[in-house]
Amino acid sequence: MTPALELRAVARSYAEGKGRLEVFRNLDLNVHPGEIVALVGQSGSGKSSLLHIAGLLEAPTAGDVLIAGQNCSKLDDTARTRIRRIGIGFVYQFHHLLPEFSALENVMMPQLIAGATRAAAADRARDLLSRMGLEPRLEHRPSELSGGEQQRVAIARALANRPLLLLADEPTGNLDPETAAHVHAELLRLIADEGLGALVATHNLDLARGMTRIARLERGRIV
């Protein structure tokens, strides 16, 4: 089966004074459809940077990034943007919902940008939000939703365009433990239902143990 995400010998370094700071070196990682891989590591180990590279937001210094078998490392900005729009979903610790739109409209928005009709976008958004337990809150704006509800809207929005790959950066990091566990369980269930590959950065080992497997980022490599 072709991986949803494949990182081959990825390296990333930055200029620092007269030298260079090496973040990754010769890093390999695969995420297959149906897998939910927990990305763990100490603070500052580079989890967010690795997600940026996997999501084509940042180019590696060396190595290749493949999305569903397509090598994206040499693509121009337009092609990378197209793949991000239709092939990759992102969930962040802070949900970044559009405050002037309802929960339903927030989930419709990426679909409309991708060319879906309003009717199709509304049907897909309504289905995802209902599966996240938010059917009674469809018309509420973010300011009328709890933190956990807002994050569930953000998860539904990330899945709206049926991506091949979901990347999540500490998606429950700003929630209280009980709400975090609830949102996490719904995230895992929805990812499994959709059948995509997911890479989820988290510092919570209890949550990580509930995923398919754990990839530990240590000294610039996956161990």
210 part of a folded domain: yes
Question: Containing domain of residue 135, as a range?
Answer: 33-45+78-222
66 part of a folded domain: no
pTM metric for this prediction = 0.89
CATH number at residue 130: 3.40.50.300
Nearest to 200 by CA among 142, 155, 149: 155
Average pLDDT in the 21-39 region?
Answer: 90
39 with 200: CB under 8 angstroms? yes
pLDDT of 171-187, one tens digit each?
887 778 887 788 788 88
pLDDT class for 44, splitting at 50, 70, 90?
A: confident
pLDDT of 145-157, one tens digit each?
998 899 889 989 9
142 part of a folded domain: yes
Beta bridge partner(s), residue 71: 66
140 part of a folded domain: yes
pLDDT exceeds 90 at position 120:
yes
Which one-letter amino acid corresponds to residue 69? G
Please, which contacts does 84-87 make with residues 24 or more away whose CB atoms are closer than 8 Å?
Answer: 84/55, 84/56, 84/57, 85/110, 85/113, 85/114, 85/161, 86/114, 86/161, 86/163, 87/163, 87/164, 87/165
59 part of a folded domain: no
15 part of a folded domain: no
What is the total count of domains within the chain? 1
Output the pLDDT for position 191: 82
Which one-letter amino acid corresponds to residue 123? D
pLDDT exceeds 80 at position 192:
yes
